[in-house]
Structure 1
Amino acid sequence: MISGRVSAGVRPLGAGLRRWIAGVLLALGTTAATAETLVERGAYLADVMTCHNCHTPRGPNGFDVSRLLSGGSQQFDEPAFKVSGANLTPDKETGLGHWTDAELRTFLVTGTKPDGVNAAPIMPTAFYSVLTARDLDALVAYLRSVPAVRREMPPPEYRAKLEREKPPYVGTQMKDAEMADPLRRGRYLVAIAHCLECHTPRGSGGHDYANAAGKGGKLFKGPWGQVVSANITSNPTEGLGQWSDDEIRRAMTEGVSRDGRRLKPPMGYASYAKMTRQDQDAIVAFVRTLPPR
């Protein structure tokens, strides 16, 4: 409250200025009251990063939220490894309850577990190297907040030496200030959502990021049958070059193609639909910059 009394030599504030100060104080109070917590930010990021696709078991009606992040139903059987999505809950025997916060942060950006073993590259930690310091803290806070679920998952099988891939647009931690630029924000979101991991074809040595980033053509097998990822580059005939922003956004968030066809999983349409409009627009803007393939 601003007092009506004034000290000698001090001119009283005008009514307009008093109203402006009161408005600023009210706005600051509102912002503080509604600021996003680290746990809320972490939950949002888990959707953007489609963590549930691999780490939450599925029931007949979709994800089994009663066992959130306790280990996925799908098994990834590749020539170099055979793994399932791990239990990420704070359970101390079957989950991450025995990991320290520092170990969890290190794993998210390097793929290296506390025992020194690297995770199979199906876990896209190479893309997570861009995560801001605050977003790393948010993910750790969120993973600590989910209910602990005791659920033993099959141990990973490594059949060959695992090579860490080097996708484009990653490798350097982003700063919060950079997120104000729409294209940098879009690049960040495309990275942590590991869009190019799914939309780049694989060769004998891994994904062909050097020559075919975003070209599509990667095969996915699952309950949905067989699906081949789409070309999301700016190619005018094979990619998204002729699509409108709204058409790209609808495909991403609703699973509906430009011609009205219903698109299939494993694309995380429901997760992307929860994203803010600012983040959706940033992704669309950055995808526009992908060289045509």
Structure 2
Amino acid sequence: MRSSVSAAAIAAVLSLAAIVPAGAASKAQVKRGEYLVNGPVACGNCHTPRGADMAPIKDKAFAGGFPFNDPGFMTYSANITPDKETGIGSWTDAEIIHAIREGADKDGRIIFPPMPVPTYNNMSDEDVKAIVAYLRTLKPVHNVVPDPKYAIPQQTMPPATVKKSPPQSDKVAYGGYIVNALAHCFECHTSPGANGVPDFKNGLGAGGFLIALGPGMSVATPNITSDPDTGLGKWSDTDIKKALTEGISPTGGHLSPPMPYSNFKNMTDSDVEAVIAYLRTVPPIKNKVERTDFQKKAFP
């Protein structure tokens, strides 16, 4: 006997089938965003304020207010929780994405440096949307952040054009994507030029950039090029992984903030391996970086 199915029943089944993947995709997107925010992008490393002991203040996670005192600016990390008055709760997805990848807030105010917008300008559409999806799930925290003061010229980045990230099967390419679009490694680990800003042309990855964590608390970033004498050239993969995820050097020394090893420890083994594979390709630059007295004392 031949059975018949009504058009309405078919429509209902198709409608249900369409709903299920959408819900699954939404959960996957939030999960990806959670991984990025708490892993390679390490948003909380700057956007969570710290106490006098430099430990993150847990009940103010992502609520901003961490100070950045530089000769060219005095600014504070923004509140990126969904609080509608002091955070991004009233922002549209497009406004948040524009701030992340182009560097201007919803009112048109330029928000970098130190926000690593030049790096995030290389972030894919799929990943930046995932980050926004996860930020929407955070607990709103009411925290007023002081306005920044800049003594240097600013300009936004051009519209982002990266639609998709490289395939994870290509370790070097994907590792380069993590380093140059997500983890913003070179924003800190590049040597400064004559003007004091990172010289990406001549000092990429060579370190020696001074970062002020507070009065008398400056740190010098290490050389992460493949140079065998002053960089990572003689480090084993295990050495680099331990530095990235535990903050421990091959000699047993402790790496200092703002190195976000507490975030990098959340990265998958595959992603860490991809980063290491890419770092092996960074051209060697001989630049011996001496740790500051603060680093030697606080992080022996």
Q: Please tell me the TM-score bracket, short chain as reference.
A: 0.7 to 0.9
Shift of 1:208: 0.5
229 and 90 in structure 1: CA distance in 2 versus 1, 3 angstrom threshold? same
Q: Indicate yes or no: 2:201 matched with 1:214.
A: no
Structure with bigger gyration radius = 1
Equivalent pair of 1:71/1:153 in contact (CA under 8 Å): yes
- Pairing 1:173–2:162 present: yes
**1:116 matched to which residue of 2?**
108
Counterpart of 2:271 in 1: which secondary structure? helix
Residue aligned with 2:168, SS: helix
How many residues end up aligned between the 2 structures? 257
Among candidates 219, 242, 253, match of residue 245 of structure 2: 253
- Measured in 1, the distance between the counterparts of 2:198 and 2:255 equals 23
SS in 2 for 1:207: coil
Identity of matched residues, %: 41
- 1:260 Cα deviation (Å)? 1.7
| 8 Å CA contact retained: 1:186, 1:285 | yes
- Contact kept, 8 Å, 1:165 with 1:206, in 2: the verdict is no
Q: Choose 156-165 or 47-56, whichever is displaced more.
A: 156-165
* TM-score after normalising by structure 1: 0.81
Q: Which residue in 2 is equivalent to 1:139?
A: 131
Which aligned segments of 4 or more residues in structure 1 are displaced greater than 6 angstroms?
32-36
The 5 Å alignment of 1:126-275 reads 126-163=118-155, 172-173=161-162, 175-176=164-165, 178-191=167-180, 192-203=182-193, 204=195, 206-222=197-213, 225-275=217-267
Q: Which digits, 9 at most, give the CA deviation of each residue in 1:13-54, with x for residues without a partner?
A: xxxxxxxxxxxxxxxxxxx98996222211211121121121
Structure 2 residue runs without a partner (length 5+): 1-22, 286-300
Q: The residue matched to 2:219 in structure 1 has which SS?
A: strand
Question: Secondary structure of the residue that 1:139 maps to in structure 2?
Answer: helix
The Cα of 1:78 is off from its aligned counterpart by: 2.1
| TM-fit CA distance, 1:265 | 1.6
User: What is the distance in 2 between the residues matched to 1:139 and 1:264?
Assistant: 26
Residue in 1 aligned with 2:270? 278
Tell me how far 1:179 sits from its aligned partner. 3.3
8 Å CA contact 2:84–2:90 kept in 1: the answer is yes
2:24 and 2:95 map into 1 onto residues whose CA distance is: 32
Structure 1 counterpart of 2:63, from 70, 83, 103? 70
Deviation per CA, 1:219-277, whole angstroms, max 9, x where unpaired?
12326933211110011101111111111111111111111222222111111111000
Residue type of the alignment partner of 2:187: E
CA positional deviation for 1:164? 5.8
Aligned partner of 1:45 in structure 2 is: 36
Deviation at 1:172, TM superposition (A): 4.8
- Greater mean alpha carbon deviation, residues 249-258 or residues 56-65: 56-65
8 Å contact from structure 1 (residues 182, 282) kept in 2: yes
Q: Is the 8 A contact 2:166 2:177 kept in 1?
A: no
Deviates more, 1:215-224 or 1:63-72: 215-224
Kept in 1, the 8 Å contact 2:69–2:212? The answer is no
Instruction: Give the match for residue 11 of structure 1.
Output: none
Closer/same/farther in 2, CA of residues 61 and 162 from structure 1, 3 Å limit: closer
RMSD: 2.4
Deviation at 1:118, TM superposition (A): 1.2
SS of residue paired to 1:63: coil
